[in-house]
Structure 1
């Protein structure tokens, strides 16, 4: 059995009772980083777990090797923060387990995506979730140019160190749109910025932060 256990995106207490019960009773925790996962579990008094790693460097053979573990044991899959299988390699393990008829269950929790939408103050009934645009310059520029044709709301995310680069990209491609930027959601230094791109850039308090960006409809 594989449980997809959502973990806090900031405050360590932002986790469900069901998630804690699964983490306490499971045989194995599959995680992106044993350091981050063990730190979270220790914060809730959970120790002595067996860990396996699944991250962006995991090979197809690495992922395949996790499938028998999920078949034979009770396994919790976690990401460093948020919901596993959403914009991370966990999706590959879910697919492999389903192909082998191994039960997969979701243990819902905190969601940066829902947090972003709820903070908009607008009814956004339709949106395009684009997630991570390519990192390579030429592919990135093409992806952003293609997105300029989209009139619906667009949601982007990227690694913390690409925060300033992403805002620079928005100035180049979406200078006529309005934005909502969330930084470090659910953490002590949570910051919400809204307005045109110049306002976001001038008001940016950090060079690096966990972020999601909502481009409002045209």
Structure 2
């Protein structure tokens, strides 16, 4: 069986009791980084686990090799932070397991997306989740141009070191729309900024940070 175990996006204590039970009892932990996963488990007194790596560099063969483990053992899939299978390679493993009729269960927990939506204070019954924008300039500009046609709320994210680049892109394409920017959610330096993109950009206190951006309708 494969368990999708949500891990903290900030504070180490932000993890459910069920997640800890699964991590304690499972035979194998599949993770993006053994360093990050073992650090989290040690913080909760869990040691002696067997780890397998599934990250952005994993090949199709690497992913396929994990499927028999999920069929024969109790396996926990974690990401460095948040819910596995959401904008990460874990989705491929989930699909492969389903194709083989291997049970997959979810242990819910911290979500930067839900945190962003709840902090907006708006009833956003409909929104477009764009996720990570392309890194390559031409593809990125095409994606942004397509998004300008969207009238619903839009949510984008990117890697921490592309924070400033993403904000500059938003200024170029969405200068007339209000935004909400969350930085380092659930951490001591958590910051939430809202307003016109120019105002938000001038108030950002970090060169890089974990972030999500909501563009209001």
How far apart, in 1, do the equivalents of 2:146 and 2:99 lie? Answer: 34
Q: Which position in structure 2 is the counterpart of 1:216? A: 216
Q: Which position in structure 2 is the counterpart of 1:94? A: 94
- Are 1:6 and 2:12 an aligned pair? no
Structure 1 residue 114: Cα displacement: 0.4
How far apart, in 2, do the equivalents of 1:184 and 1:43 lie? Answer: 20
Report the 3-state secondary structure (helix = DSSP H, G, I; strand = E; otherwise coil) of the residue aligned with 1:98.
helix
Q: Which position in structure 2 is the counterpart of 1:163? A: 163
Structure 1 residue 177: Cα displacement: 0.5
- Unaligned ranges ≥5, structure 2: none
Q: Which position in structure 2 is the counterpart of 1:19? A: 19
Q: Which position in structure 2 is the counterpart of 1:191? A: 191
Structure 1 residue 133: Cα displacement: 1.1
How far apart, in 2, do the equivalents of 1:162 and 1:200 lie? Answer: 16
Q: How does 1:194-205 map to 2 (within 5 A)?
A: 194-205=194-205
Question: How high is the TM-score relative to the length of structure 1?
Answer: 0.99
Report the 3-state secondary structure (helix = DSSP H, G, I; strand = E; otherwise coil) of the residue aligned with 1:188.
coil
Q: Which position in structure 2 is the counterpart of 1:79? A: 79
Report the 3-state secondary structure (helix = DSSP H, G, I; strand = E; otherwise coil) of the residue aligned with 2:69.
helix
Q: Which position in structure 2 is the counterpart of 1:32? A: 32
Report the 3-state secondary structure (helix = DSSP H, G, I; strand = E; otherwise coil) of the residue aligned with 1:19.
helix
Q: Which position in structure 2 is the counterpart of 1:108? A: 108
Report the 3-state secondary structure (helix = DSSP H, G, I; strand = E; otherwise coil) of the residue aligned with 1:200.
helix
- Unaligned ranges ≥5, structure 1: none
- Are 1:146 and 2:110 an aligned pair? no
How far apart, in 1, do the equivalents of 2:84 and 2:56 lie? Answer: 13
Q: Which position in structure 2 is the counterpart of 1:66? A: 66
How far apart, in 1, do the equivalents of 2:189 and 2:45 lie? Answer: 25
Report the 3-state secondary structure (helix = DSSP H, G, I; strand = E; otherwise coil) of the residue aligned with 2:40.
helix
